[in-house]
Structure 1
Amino acid sequence: MNGGHDLLIVGGGPAGLVTALHAARAGLDTVVAEPRQAPVDKACGEGLMPGAVRHLATLGLQVAGHPLTGIRYVQGPRRVQAAFRHGPGLGARRTHLHSVLHHAVSEAGVPVLPLRVEEVRQDTTGVTIPGTGLRARWLVAADGLHSPVRRCLGLRAESRGTPRYGLRRHYAVPPWSAYVEVHWGPHGEAYVTPLGPELVGIALLTGQRAPFATHLQRFPELAARLPAEAAVTAVRGAGPLRQQARARCHGRVLFVGDAAGYIDALTGEGISLALTGAQALVGNVRSGTPGRYETDWKRATRRHRLLTELLVRARQKPALAPRIVPTAERLPLLFAAAVNALA
């Protein structure tokens, strides 16, 4: 049985691959288990906030895309926007981001094994994947929203509230703004992310089950800009979005990215939190303080979790939901402060 690995990372999405990069640069013997062939696509908004752009730059990674100036909320005739104060964000196709990360991991000499991991066994000195011969001192679960490792270890907590889902599609039309637009409707939100000179991504978040086209028609102004013949990708879905984990550290298993717990896509910070979590995780493993990772993760994500929770709760209350954009419009300085606190 192979006992030579320091870190076994389950999941080769952005969270797992960035963890692998940090681990390789920290001198840790690392291997990634990911059954899907790169690049892996996923239903997401594809907007990288300025913090994520800076983090990728510190890793020496160049990701092509469309610069993002800030965030704009739209509700009927109402508009409120806030520019990013500390550099631009980036609208980037998920497949391109994944390709860049996968190439960097390969260049760093980290093997990516075509393995699906749904069961783990751990003892006081390490973690074993049954039937594979793989063993490592630490296992990182970066296996996404519905983490099989989290389920295997009994760490999933029941989520309360109305389940929300995400749908995403791309349209070959020129972006009409350098802002990420969030259109607020009666039953959900539509995100518009510029991705290139002739490409925008549309992500719909809602608690109602219906086809993409049905949801899009609930945003007439937006639908008018997006003729059906301009659609260039199939609809992808994800959800339920809220996933709670009982812990980020369980023995010798550490969770990162969406597997560590997820509230909602409403504030668009999934990638940024995954990058921050990956750095904190590797730092604690390297320094021999893995027990501190839970505290560091909570500290690093506290502001985001609080703001997202407040916004989602307001969104789901009929008396408050219609007032979110008008309130932001009346208090532009507060809106700008919130946008930049997350960015």
Structure 2
Amino acid sequence: MTVPAALQADADVIVVGAGPAGSATAFYLAQAGLDVLLLEKTTFPREKVCGDGLTPRAVKQLMNMGIDFDAPGWVRNKGLRVVGGGHRFDLDWPQLERFPDFGLVRTRQDFDEILADNAVKAGVRLMQGVTVTGPVLDDRSGHIVGVTTKDGATFRSRLVVAADGNSTRLALAMGLHKREDRPMGVAVRTYYTSPRHDDDYLEIWLELWDEETLLPGYGWVFGVGDGTANVGLGLLNTSDHFNKVDYRDLLRRWTKNMPAEWGFTEENMTAPIRGAALPMAFNRQPHYTRGLVLVGDSGGAINPFNGEGIAYAMETGEIAAEVIARALKAPGRAEQERILRTYPKTLKDAYGGYFTLGRLFVEAIGKPGLMSFGVRHGLPHPRLMRFALKLLGNLTDRRGDASDRIINALSKVAPRA
């Protein structure tokens, strides 16, 4: 649909999708004094497929937005418990200046609603049950100047942010397709009534077997604190077996081998097994084109090392909001466009080298021999595992210890593709 450029805007910025990326973007835009319309296709509360675990990197973002995680429903954890190769040990989150030394668990059933409500308190106008179907384009420049919805409504704005997840109709409609040279993951999870609901550590299992084949990925057991545990697994497409595995059946087979007292049985399952795709390492680019800004999963902002997406959703939202606010306050369309075009480079400067390292990592563990060697020979060395925790979690200080400096140097010299 095309419209004349002179039509009055309904908001300075329309943000499509009220997940962590959209709500964070909207929050920071509102704090910058912009009029923001946040459109969400579902109604809260609503379920999302996720492990529900939040690393210190994600907690830092919640702190920045003033989220009260001392309120009921938040479960703190001290670190990561790693199981594999006959070993089982606890790794505390590192002591860093940039990030807190604890993680959290909160189900997506209400986590996203908490962030959306926080954005509303900052002045954002939230509309739920609004399904965006496509862009409204300026008939001269081809820039997006609004969106159409399933019920026939049209909303106009000076800029549009796509925070509509992996499927991102807006990005596809604007000609932004997935890059096939980037890894893709899949995650499946369910909930069990279990004594494992209360745990000081997020627990991951590094060995996922499909009969005789060791798969690239990991399983998890995250206590939710309400009598249930979130149990799931994530796999990467770097294995030849990626399209041959029945992931739901694999989860059932994996949990059957768990201790009986944990209660991971069909009768204790409180939710169906659900799955979701994990777009990684900036698999959709550029992150800005013709008035459309991509944040979170819509731009593939998921860490390929560990499948973490929530922290990067909120971080890219904050970065996007800073660029957008600066652009929309600049004099003249040409200067605004120049500033907006800096956004993709800003993202690559922040994450590009690290994501490149992650792509190399997932290619390596896609080879069963290397995966098995790493599990057997890496886990018995606590110092190496503490280094791995920092690397895989992207948890370093800019001027930290030797491990921080190594990780930061590697990220700096790696290509920012």
Query: Is TM more than 0.5 here?
Result: yes
Question: Does the C-alpha gap of structure 1 residues 121 and 338 become closer, same or farther in structure 2, counting only changes over 3 Å?
Answer: farther
The correspondence of residues 18-167 of structure 1 with structure 2, limited to 5 A, is 18-63=24-69, 64-86=73-95, 87-113=101-127, 114-123=129-138, 124=141, 127-130=145-148, 132-160=153-181, 164-167=185-188
Contact 2:135 2:144 in 1 (8 A): no
Higher deviation after alignment, 136-145 or 106-115: 106-115
Question: Does the C-alpha gap of structure 1 residues 43 and 332 become closer, same or farther in structure 2, counting only changes over 3 Å?
Answer: same
Give CA-to-partner distance per residue, 1:178-221, whole Å, 9 cap, x none: 22222121234211112215221112123343252543323655
Counterpart of 2:269 in structure 1 is 231
| CA–CA distance in structure 1, aligned partners of residues 268 and 386 of structure 2 | 33
Q: TM-score, normalised by structure 2?
A: 0.75
| CA–CA distance in structure 1, aligned partners of residues 34 and 178 of structure 2 | 31
Counterpart of 2:410 in structure 1 is none
Q: Which structure would you say has the larger RCO, counting Cα contacts within 8 Å and 6 or more residues apart?
A: 1
Counterpart of 2:246 in structure 1 is 210
Counterpart of 1:305 in structure 2 is 355
1:259 counterpart letter in structure 2: S
Counterpart of 2:200 in structure 1 is 178
Question: Does the C-alpha gap of structure 1 residues 327 and 200 become closer, same or farther in structure 2, counting only changes over 3 Å?
Answer: same
Deviation at 1:260, TM superposition (A): 0.8
Deviation at 1:93, TM superposition (A): 0.6
Computed over aligned residues only, the root mean square deviation of the Cα atoms, in angstroms, reads 2.5
Question: Does the C-alpha gap of structure 1 residues 108 and 135 become closer, same or farther in structure 2, counting only changes over 3 Å?
Answer: same
Contact 1:72 1:79 in 2 (8 A): yes
Deviation at 1:171, TM superposition (A): 1.3
Counterpart of 1:277 in structure 2 is 316
Contact 2:221 2:232 in 1 (8 A): yes
Higher deviation after alignment, 316-325 or 106-115: 106-115
Deviation at 1:307, TM superposition (A): 4.4
Aligned-residue sequence identity (percent) comes to 26
Question: Does the C-alpha gap of structure 1 residues 167 and 137 become closer, same or farther in structure 2, counting only changes over 3 Å?
Answer: same
What secondary structure is seen at the aligned counterpart in 2 of 1:56? Answer: helix
What are structure 2's unaligned runs of at least 5 residues? 1-6, 96-100, 209-213, 236-241, 328-338, 396-417
Contact 2:162 2:295 in 1 (8 A): yes
| CA–CA distance in structure 1, aligned partners of residues 121 and 326 of structure 2 | 25
What are structure 1's unaligned runs of at least 5 residues? none
Deviation at 1:107, TM superposition (A): 2.4
| CA–CA distance in structure 2, aligned partners of residues 162 and 4 of structure 1 | 38
Q: TM-score, normalised by structure 1?
A: 0.90
| CA–CA distance in structure 1, aligned partners of residues 376 and 256 of structure 2 | 19
Contact 1:81 1:336 in 2 (8 A): no
Higher deviation after alignment, 55-64 or 233-242: 233-242
2:124 counterpart letter in structure 1: V
Deviation at 1:300, TM superposition (A): 2.4
Aligned residues: 343
| CA–CA distance in structure 2, aligned partners of residues 299 and 162 of structure 1 | 20
Contact 2:189 2:273 in 1 (8 A): yes
Give CA-to-partner distance per residue, 1:285-308, whole Å, 9 cap, x none: 111222221122122223652343
The correspondence of residues 249-328 of structure 1 with structure 2, limited to 5 A, is 249-262=288-301, 267-288=306-327, 289-302=339-352, 304-328=354-378
Contact 2:46 2:110 in 1 (8 A): no
| CA–CA distance in structure 2, aligned partners of residues 152 and 134 of structure 1 | 16
Deviation at 1:80, TM superposition (A): 4.8
What secondary structure is seen at the aligned counterpart in 2 of 1:138? Answer: strand
Counterpart of 1:195 in structure 2 is 224
Contact 2:78 2:201 in 1 (8 A): yes
